[in-house]
Amino acid sequence: MSGAREEVLERIRTALGSERRAPEVPRDYRVTDDRPTESLLDVLTDRLEDYKAQVLRCGPDDVAATVAAALDAGLGSGWTPASVVVTPGVPEGWRPDGVSEDDARPAVRLADFAATVTGVAVAIAETGTLVLDGSPRTGRRAVSLLPDCLVCVVEAGEVVGGVPEALARLDPTAPLTMISGPSATSDIELDRVEGVHGPRTLVVVLVA
Amino acid sequence: MTTAPERTDPTPLAPGAPRSGTTFLGLPTAPRGVGHLRGERPFPDAARDALRDGQLRANLGHATTTIRKKRAAVVGEVPDWEALRQAGKALKTATMARLDEHLVELERRVGERGGTVHWARDAAEANEIVTRLVQATGSDEVVKVKSMATQEIGLNEALEAAGITAHETDLAELIVQLGDDAPSHILVPAIHKNRAEIREIFLRTMPQVDPDLTDEPRRLAMAARAHLRERFLRAKVAISGANFAVAETGTLAVVESEGNGRMCLTLPQTLITVMGIEKLVPTWRDLEVFLQLLPRSSTGERMNPYTSMWTGVTPGDGPQEFHLVLLDNGRTAVLADEVGREALHCIRCSACLNVCPVYERAGGHAYGSVYPGPIGAVLSPQLTGVEDNASLPYASSLCGACYDACPVAIDIPSILVHLRAEHVEAQEKTTPEGAAFTALATAMSHPRLWHLAQRAATLGRFLARGKPTLPAVLPPPASKWTRSRDLPAPPRETFTQQWAREHRR
């Protein structure tokens, strides 16, 4: 196909001609947010709840109990630990007793689990967005996709104000997933309804 | 620069595909006979039928009103929206100015990370490449993420001809596919269907659907989930488009809502992405602008539920084989037009459709192309050559709402006017409209003639019979004008007559 490659490139050169004017890009938009952490957490909570995600807040010593409460909220109180998978990098102190760790089984078999618990790479307050980056803490992409309930644990230090700060913290070559609320669609009469192919329930545990 | 299309046969570039034409720089437009850029009928004819469909107008009115309110609210809360918009516009202009260099860099980065880049001069070549890649996997079915590029090239039909079944997985695309229908909106291809109609399609076409399915949107979404779940889990090959590609890193991005995109981008062994050559941005940082502009303009959300970004292949996570098909299909012809090339800045948000008074009433099918609405009216005629979509530059009242809504500030009205001029200049025979304007120009440059003409025009008052407008049933060729416009009855006296009467004392 090198013929096509050379030809398309040559067409572009012909189209642009010799005089190419590339303007300076004005970056007059906000790239930082100096609001205190506490108000960023409030904004994040507000945005997540607006998308019908549930938010539970706790201190650093109560994460495992709050994750258990999050699973109660997502699965109902009768859930069995064996139906919950956690990513390999989720700290021991966050894990409710008896939950399974992702054992690198074929991705489609992750659908057997009812819920997933992960950490995040960064969270964006203004848009209510959690970013997973394929690291051990956030797991491979399929693990946060196939089980119907997703519990994400966010630490205060991982929360930034806007999109520019978040992208600056990320490695672009990692497999990235930005999650803003549970799976949803606007395809019926352009109105949003939650719950299609991705996890229908999103519970966020905010640790501060 | 005016790019009056030559009507001579260009040099064939790929065997077999009929060509439609070239720009004056010799750059080929999208070929005829493949893909979905041309309608069967001119816009006014198709629109007239659509306007008679009361259900369609009700559905469109409801949906566009809903989304306009949502968009206005989330755009209004961003204090630096205009700065983002100007940055987006400048970024796109700068990208186009060095498009060849950025594409070569993208190709190198994708290759370094284990992906393979293919180049396609046009729709036919892209379809051949994708079909060959799917056949090489041995699979006879693929799952698809909603993609305008693959709609544009008619990929599903090409795959079907090769015995490969393509399952659309986006809810609206699924509705269109199951209903054996055509898309009518960039973002929500089934916008012309309401919930009751969608329920009826699902009941008719989904084999295992619950017969008690209601038309509650949540229940309909659940039905789609059940219908597609097993297909996702067994799929070996996925085909996607791309919202963005980052040249400096080789990163691709798909922005979606339902998670069907994630399923396709994550679970199959092989991923094939078809992307127009204009969709890339130079640097990773540039996404900070577009990831703010796109969701708010598109679905009226602060951020869409899922954005996936991947760079080549990641061992142990996602597809282990990745192909990127870079598609021209007339884009370089658009790039050659210094005015029209701004249409390539489009990030496919569909905000211009939702605010357009013409789109809201006529609907997307009337445009005949997969790109409807204001952006379609400037993009489709340029991709095909303006004579193959000659009515589209006129499918607008030039009110400018599209320009205001566009997150990258594409001056759509100016491009529409530019394309109208191009169409007029391409005419070899004099049209009635052309003759009328030539006569008008002559009259206006001769004061005596002009006064005579004005006096003659007041005779039109007899036709109006005291009504404020002339009757719509003027004889041809005047009827072509009055069919869709009110022609006011001429005033009793002209402005100069009135001035002279009141001031000459």
Tokens 């003409």, residue? B453
Say if A29 falls within a structural domain: no
Query: How many Cβ atoms sit within 10 Å of the Cβ of residue B410?
Result: 25
Minimal CA–CA distance to B245: which of B284, B272, B271? B284
Q: What order of strands is seen across the sheet that includes strand B280-281?
A: A159-160, A122-124, A129-132, A176-179, B306-311, B251-256, B244-246, B280-281
Instruction: Kindly determine whether residue B195 and residue A188, on different chains, have CB atoms separated by under 8 Å.
Output: yes
pLDDT digit string (tens) for A54-100?
999 999 999 999 999 999 999 999 999 999 999 999 999 999 999 99
Cβ atoms of B265 and B316 within 8 Å: the answer is no
Q: Tell me if B162 sits within 8 A of B237, measured CB to CB.
A: no
Angle at the Cα of B432 from the Cα atoms of B428 and B436, rounded to 5 degrees: 110
- What integer pLDDT is reported at residue B200 of this predicted model? 96
A141 lies in a domain? Answer: yes
Q: What is the pLDDT of residue B505?
A: 62
B407 and B351 Cβ atoms separated by less than 8 Å: yes
Interatomic CA distance for residues B276 and B122, integer angstroms: 10
Find the mean pLDDT for residues A182-204.
Answer: 90
How many domains is chain A built from? 1
Contacts of A140 in chain B (CB under 8 A): 316-318
Name the residue in chain A with its Cα closest to that of B233.
A108
Provide the 8-state DSSP code for B398.
Answer: -
How far are the Cα atoms of A53, A55, A57, A172, A180 from residue A44, in angstroms, in the given order? 11, 9, 12, 23, 10
Q: Hey, is the C-beta of A28 within 8 angstroms of any chain B C-beta?
A: yes
Written as one string, the DSSP assignment of A42-73 is: HHHHHHHHHTT-EEEEE-GGGHHHHHHHHHHH
In chain B, the number of structural domains is 1
User: Minimal Cα distance from B102: which residue of A?
Assistant: A9
Q: Is A91 helix (H, G, I), strand (E, B) or coil?
A: coil
In a domain, A140, yes or no: yes
Residue stretches of chain B with pLDDT short of 50: 1-19
**Is residue A86 packed enough to be buried (19+ CB in 10 Å), middle (13-18) or exposed (0-12)?**
buried
pLDDT of res. B465: 79
What is the reported pLDDT for A2?
63
- Residues of chain A numbered 52-91 and touching chain B (CB < 8 Å): none
Residues sharing a CB contact under 8 Å with residue B441, sequence separation 6 or more, in sequence order = none
Domain span at B484: 432-503
**Helix or strand or coil: residue B281?**
strand
- In a domain, residue A2? The reply is no
For the beta carbon of residue B41, count every other beta carbon within 10 angstroms: 13
Count CB atoms within 10 A of the CB of residue B316.
10
**Residues on chain A touching B249 (C-beta within 8 angstroms):** 172-173
Residue B412 lies in a domain: no
Instruction: Name the amino acid, one letter, at A196.
Output: V
| A 93-122: CB under 8 A from B | 104, 107-108, 111
pTM of this prediction? 0.92
**Which ipTM did the prediction report?**
0.97
Q: Break chain A down into helix, strand, coil percent, rounded to 5.
A: 35, 25, 40
B230: nearest CA partner in chain A: A108
Among A122, A187, A189, the strongest candidate for a mutation testing the B interface, having the largest count of B CBs within 10 A, is A187
Angle, vertex CA B264, rays to CA A145 and CA A163, nearest 5: 65
Supply φ then ψ for residue B227, to 5 degrees.
Answer: -65, -35
Helix axes B81-97, B99-112, angle to 10 degrees: 90
CATH number of the CATH domain containing A203: 3.40.50.10420
Question: Contact at 8 Å (CB) between B277 and B328?
Answer: yes
Only one residue has tokens 């049209």, namely B431
Cβ–Cβ below 8 Å for B233 and A145: no
Q: Virtual CA dihedral for B137, B143, B149, B150, nearest 10 degrees?
A: 70
**How far is A175 from B251, CA to CA, in rounded Å?**
9
B50 SS3 class: helix
Dist. CA A70–CA A73, nearest whole Å: 5
When CB atoms are compared, the residue of B91, B289, B306 closest to A177 is B306
At residue B170, the 3 state secondary structure works out as coil
B431: CB partners within 8 A, 6+ apart: B424
Q: Would an 8 Å CB–CB cutoff place A137 in contact with chain B?
A: no
Domain-embedded: residue B497: yes
Of B87, B170, B284, the CB nearest to A27: B87
Q: What is the pLDDT of residue B116?
A: 98
Contact A198 B262 (CB under 8 A): yes
CA distance, residue B63 to nearest chain A CA (Å): 5
Nearest by Cα to B366 from B182, B148, B153, B196: B182
CA dist B376 and B383 (Å) reads 10
Which amino acid appears at position B149 of this protein? A
Residues 6+ apart with CB under 8 A from B162: B131, B134, B135
B395 inside domain: no
pLDDT over 70 percentage in chain A: 99
Q: Which residues contact B288 (CB under 8 A, 6 or more apart)?
A: A31, A163, A164, A167
What phi and psi, each to the nearest 5 degrees, are found at residue B497?
-65, -40
Please tell me which of the candidates A30, A168, A183 has its beta carbon nearest to residue B258. A183
CA separation for the pair A21, B50 (Å, rounded): 43
Element holding B450 (H helix, E strand): helix B447-458
Sequence letter at residue A106: P
Instruction: Judge contact between B356 and B398, C-beta under 8 A.
Output: no
Domain span at A53: 37-183+194-207
Residue in this structure with the two tokens 């186009």, named with its chain if needed: B96
